[in-house]
A and B are shown apart, each in its own frame.
Chain A
């Protein structure tokens, strides 16, 4: 099947090699930032008492950060490429937020798995090892602007090395668990880990 060629298909002009090698298999370059959400867009405010991020479950000490407390932490710029399982990739975009490392260090995870949960009921599962070592952030800005509501504002998780459904919009918290459990898309046909470079799109990949 690998030698199948689509009759009469030339394709777009090829991207220059330095861009092409940053686009995972089966993905194409997208210059916009499309919106994909499974249900209605939740309204999440940042007035005192309206927003918090909670890390609980199998941890030494559960913690909760208010919007104001989050704002006192060290923010950093996160230049990155993002890859959506619906086959678009966006290169050279940037977010700004708080790395997950100091947040996780504050609670001390005692187990290897996490379920991230959002306002509106969305969940996604990740291994702690995919959330640490500078691989994951809680971001509140995109390309210099406050994160738009339809892209998960006021705050979303950012895990750019995995397909973008893992970067939960409207993030509300993270539960550390001693076992793995499928989150929302993972229970609906999509891959458990979602590495775009291994093209882990669906259950059977």
Chain B
């Protein structure tokens, strides 16, 4: 890791009451919520926060959401939330929360699916699984753009792309359902050719054995993508995965 630690990790915080400072719509079913935290601490890209909702009768619902923003955004975090039709917490985010509302959160948590400056880093995201990878990408861009980091992003259609403004030249997209008109790039499910294209991007081919892979998405996506990374020669011990199960 060459001593490169973009942020030091500290003990995660207690429950605190955040304030929604802005909401932006990413796609029809995905919104990003910027929260101001009274007891903010820098997170490592890839970490998550727990969110807890409390009803007047004391009933509570709790879920975890990855942070999409860079820890350089002092005092704030951004959570990107996919609205699940039969969910309990994500519909609250989408249908109820407004700017100025308060939200109980604690974090940041977990130190495994976390980017500490490892390079070269191959990020592979499916759907909203790209969120923690966006935090890695934007943090690296703002702190150490010279570090090798590339993203493979599998998404249904152009309308489903989230955090589009944070995707730079290092992002390789594949459209699984409907490529945009005139698109000549990859289409269909992620495959060995796409992994190879990412490894060889810009004519600077990475030795797969040197690569640390961060893979996030649905269980099926992660199984497929980690299998492809293994076949491409990435060491099993350097493949970190995070599966987005149904959580609501």
Contacts and interface: CB of A to CB of B under 8 A. Distances in A.
Do A and B share a complex? yes
B96 A40 contact: no
A122 to B, nearest CB: 11
Given A4-B104, A32-B246, A34-B246, A150 B223 contact: yes
Interface stretch (A10-18, A92-100, A106-114, A169-177): A10-18
A120 interface: yes
Contacts of B53: 6, 9, 11
A121 B111 contact: no
Interface residues of B, number: 46
A36 B245 contact: yes
Given A4-B104, A34-B246, A188 B62 contact: no
Contact of A28 (B16, B62, B112): B62
Contacts of B14: 204
Nearest to B245: A34
B230 interface: yes
Given A4-B104, A7-B102, A9-B96, A40 B59 contact: no
A49 B94 CA distance: 53
A7 B96 contact: yes
A121 B237 contact: yes
A26 B54 CA distance: 11
A121 B35 CA distance: 37
A40 B241 contact: yes
Nearest to A12: B88
B110 A189 contact: yes
Given A11-B61, A35-B243, A1 B109 contact: no
A150 B245 contact: no
A140 B194 CA distance: 37
A86 B92 contact: no
Contacts of B110: 188-190
Contacts of A86: 64, 245, 247
Contact of A39 (B92, B109, B240): B240
A7 B101 contact: yes
A45 to B, nearest CB: 17
A88 interface: yes
A198 B203 CA distance: 54
Interface in B1-45: 11-12, 14-17
A203 B109 CA distance: 10
Nearest to B52: A26
B15 A1 contact: yes
B181 interface: no
A87 B219 contact: no
Interface of A: 1, 4-12, 14, 25-28, 30, 32, 34-41, 86-88, 120-121, 150, 184-185, 188-190, 202-204
Interface of B: 11-12, 14-17, 50, 52-56, 59-64, 88, 92, 96, 101-104, 109-113, 219, 223, 226-227, 229-230, 236-237, 239-241, 243, 245-248
Given A11-B55, A28-B61, A188-B111, 7 more contacts: A5-B55, A38-B241, A87-B247, A88-B247, A150-B223, A189-B110, A190-B110
20 contacts: A5-B56, A6-B55, A8-B96, A26-B52, A26-B62, A27-B62, A32-B246, A37-B243, A38-B241, A39-B241, A40-B230, A40-B236, A40-B239, A88-B245, A120-B236, A121-B236, A150-B223, A188-B110, A189-B111, A202-B12
